[in-house]
Structure 1
Amino acid sequence: MAGINQDWEPVVLRKKAPTAAARKDEKVVNAARRSGAEIETVKKSNAGMNKAASGSTSLNTRKLDEDTENLSHEKVPSELKKAIMQARMDKKLTQAQVAQIINEKPQIIQEYESGKAIPNQQIISKLEKALGAKLRGKK
């Protein structure tokens, strides 16, 4: 292991030099500023973004405009809230313990029992397995 040398070369990172057109535009704008002329700059709204010009948004906007129903998320039905609470009480578990069993946050169990949560079939099936009770399928 005699004479181990590391020959490190310095790496210099630089910004890409502005193109000739960009330099020309910049010179024109700076010259106008110096002469006291009024300058108007326009920001292009979708410039450099990975979005379609207006193709997909108009469809969604039209759907929203045509939609006359009340726009709210689906909530947990009261039968499901009561079933979750009853099954949890029967097993003598707290909301935090149930949350730990199904590997979710205690806040999620609280939201389901208070009816504020947006129903998620995966979470409901985890609750069914953990509590050993059938919570859905009564519709």
Structure 2
Amino acid sequence: MSGIGPLGQDWEPVVIRKKAPNAAAKKDEKAVNEARRAGGPIETIKKYNAGSNKAASSATSLNTKKLDDETEVLAHEKVPTELRKNIMQARLDKKLTQAQLAQQINEKPQIIQEYESGKAIPNQQIITKLERVLGVKLRGKK
């Protein structure tokens, strides 16, 4: 009764451990090493795609082939030349710099620069803001 307290309680520490995660791998390794020492035949099995994402990525190679076979030229819509000229002309008529105009519509100066150079992808909200600040109709007929 060395570990039992006065009220019949057992105060001995109990340690609970999980099984080692590589216990199966160690057994296999041990068996292979024993077979090597004994000089007997060693049978190994190659598991394809075990522990890798290769099976999941094989579908992407099909998509890549589809993209390579695609002949249609895809491009973003760009700002039409007429709109570019209208924005620039209206801004110059109001004697505003690109930075000042951008500040008035709460956008970055780079946005105005992209619209005037034709590199921007047209956004109707930004064009509406520009129309309001510049006081000119930029879309459709004047």
Q: State the TM bucket, normalised to the shorter chain.
A: 0.5 to 0.7
Aligned residues: 112
**Aligned-residue identity in percent:** 64
Cα drift, residue 84 of structure 1:
0.3
TM-score, with structure 2 as normaliser: 0.58
The alpha-carbon distance between structure 1 residues 123 and 63, as it changes in their structure 2 partners (threshold 3 A), is farther
Question: TM-score under structure 1 normalisation?
Answer: 0.59
Asked if 1:81 is matched to 2:84, the reply is: yes
Amino acid of the structure 2 residue aligned with 1:122: Q
Residue of structure 1 equivalent to 2:39 = none
Structure 1 residues 67 and 94 mapped into 2: Cα distance closer, same or farther (>3 Å)?
Answer: same
Give, in whole Å, the separation in 1 of the partners of 2:125 and 2:88.
18
Counterparts of 2:24 and 2:136, CA distance in 1: 71
CA offsets, 1:12-64, max 9 Å, x none? xxxxxxx86954555467x37x94998877443299xxxxx79xx8xx87985
Distance 1:99 1:90 in 2: 16
Describe the shift of the 1:94–1:65 C-alpha distance in structure 2 as closer, same or farther (beyond 3 A).
Answer: same
C-alpha distance in structure 1 between counterparts of 2:121 and 2:53, whole Å: 34
Aligned to 1:71: 74
After superposition, the C-alpha distances for 1:60-88 in whole angstroms (9 at most, x for unaligned) are: 87985786431111110000000000110
Unaligned runs of 5+ in 2: 1-17, 37-41
Correspondence for 1:133: 136
Which residue does the alignment assign to 2:6? none
Match of 2:109 in 1: 106
Aligned in 2, Cα 1:46/1:66: closer, same or farther, shift over 3 Å?
closer
Q: CA RMSD in A?
A: 4.1
Structure 1 counterpart of 2:52, one-letter code: K
Larger Rg computed on CA atoms: 2
- Counterpart-to-counterpart distance in 2, 1:78 and 1:116: 11
Matching of residue 119 in structure 1 with residue 122 in structure 2: yes
| 1:1-139 equivalence runs, <5 A | 23-24=22-23, 27=26, 31=29, 35=33, 42-45=50-53, 68-138=71-141
Specify the SS of the correspondent of 2:86: helix
Q: What letter matches 2:87 in structure 1?
A: I
Cα distance, 1:126 vs structure 2: 0.8
